[in-house]
Amino acid sequence: MRIVVTGGAGFLGAHLCERLLDRGDTVICVDNFLTGSPRNVSHLLGRPPFRLVECDITGFVHVAGDVDMVLHFASAASPFDYLRYPIETLKVGSIGTLHALGLAKEKEARFVLASTSEVYGDPMEHPQRETYWGNVNPVGPRSVYDEAKRFAESLTTAYRTAHGTDTAIARIFNTYGPRMRPYDGRAVPTFIRQALNGEPLTVTGDGTQTRSICYVDDTIDAILALADSDYAGPVNIGNPTEMSILHLAETIRDLTGSTSPIHYITRPEDDPAIRCPDITLAGKHLGWHPRIDHLDGLRRTIDWFDAYLHGGRARATS
Ligand code: NAD
Ligand code: UDP
């Protein structure tokens, strides 16, 4: 298959491009490097079925030849990034999604939207099922991301009903793993970097807010299963093992062997208090369940960060 991956030079996009190439697909990776980097896919550049195109999906987009799938992953994703790039985030979620859907329509390709658990906002239902409409502050700081994705879901649904475009919506929950940026501000890379550097681990609030973290290989398995199916979704993709952020910080500290203290810092406005996916639909329609538990996944991620930041020395000496 010939597959366009928007945001393909980002964290999830780069893993996706690699897996698609491994199974024999041709991949056109489209990225403007706002929060991603060509470095993330540099190891793929020598492989002939891979093409990296520097392009802002909110501008003019043209892809020559047939396309079988458009996997739309372009968008800042960490709160630190989307608060730095509020307008860019709204534009890529709206205009960028319009262009990615237009490409899928023109090429009669299947379209998969990388949506997010953030469409549920600060949820009043727990765990979150796909039928839950969410609790989002439309003028709060996180709205630039949440509302952009909610609009993207609505647009995707309209292309399906009005144009008959073959679409799918993946609601991805917090995913972590190798190739996250050490300074992207998300909890897992931040705690790992701080622990490996012997710095205090910065937990927001009292750390009782929860998240459910999914290892990247599991998330990519689910995305591929959804892409290959004819299921429209929306479907939750995440690991339902829920934990408090303080527990996450302490677990990472233990796994690195670090003695860093925990420092409590101000919790961001509208930071969701709880988050956990109900993955019944993913099991039923995609035959998918996460396989990698958080201890295994965190160990793999710590090893990667240690090699990336310190050539593997920090853990050996900590
Ligand atoms: P990321 O920031 O690492 O990757 C996003 C990529 O999109 C980057 O390479 C960036 O340069 C690119 N991009 C941004 N604006 C663009 C534009 N206008 N044109 C072309 N490229 C553009 O983030 P990620 O964690 O890999 O997330 C990828 C997608 O998955 C996002 O759509 C995000 O909303 C979604 N998602 C991720 C998670 C997660 O936990 N990682 C959870 C839910 C949803
Ligand atoms: N968080 C934290 N310390 C950090 C970064 C994040 O305690 O250095 C908290 C953050 O306030 C939130 C949780 O960890 O409660 C998850 O944050 P992340 O940015 O990883 O994901 P999201 O909030 O988008 O789910």
pLDDT in tens, 63-116: 999 999 999 999 999 999 999 999 999 999 999 999 999 999 999 999 999 999
Q: Say if CB 64 and CB 30 are below 8 A apart.
A: no
Out of 73, 80, 212, give the residue to mutate to test ligand 1, the one with the largest number of ligand atoms within 8 Å of its CB: 73
Out of 4, 35, 113, give the residue to mutate to test ligand 1, the one with the largest number of ligand atoms within 8 Å of its CB: 35
For 5-43, the pLDDT digits (tens) are: 999 999 999 999 999 999 999 999 999 999 999 999 999
Angstrom distance (rounded) from CA 115 to CA 118: 8
317 falls in which pLDDT band (50, 70, 90)? very low
For the question of residue 145 being annotated catalytic, the response is yes
3-state secondary structure of 178: coil
Q: Is the CB of 239 under 6 A from ligand 2?
A: no
The pLDDT value given to residue 47:
86
Out of 19, 34, 184, give the residue to mutate to test ligand 1, the one with the largest number of ligand atoms within 8 Å of its CB: 34
The pLDDT value given to residue 51:
96
| Domain limits, the chain | 2-176+214-240+274-291
Q: Which atom of ligand 2 is nearest to the CA of 185?
A: 5
| pTM flag (> 0.90) | yes
Place of tokens 């927001």: 204
Q: Which ligand is nearest to the CA of 176?
A: 1
Strand 262-265 relative to strand 201-204: parallel, antiparallel, unpaired? parallel
Q: Say if CB 125 and CB 272 are below 8 A apart.
A: no
Q: Which atom of ligand 2 is nearest to the CA of 268?
A: 11
Q: Is the CB of 73 under 6 A from ligand 1?
A: yes
d(CA 195, ligand 1 centre) in Å: 26
Q: Is the CB of 280 under 6 A from ligand 2?
A: no
Q: Is the CB of 80 under 6 A from ligand 1?
A: no
Place domain 2-176+214-240+274-291 in its CATH homologous superfamily. Answer: NAD(P)-binding Rossmann-like Domain (3.40.50.720)
Q: Is the CB of 149 under 6 A from ligand 2?
A: no
The answer, yes or no, to whether residue 287 has pLDDT greater than 60, is yes
Angstrom distance (rounded) from CA 234 to CA 142: 21
Q: Tell me whether 0.95 is exceeded by the ipTM.
A: yes
Catalytic: which of 82, 85, 120, 145?
145
Write the DSSP symbol of residue 263: E
Q: Say if CB 187 and CB 197 are below 8 A apart.
A: no
For 242-273, the pLDDT digits (tens) are: 999 999 999 999 999 999 999 999 999 999 99
Could you give phi then psi for residue 286, rounded to 5 degrees? -115, -5
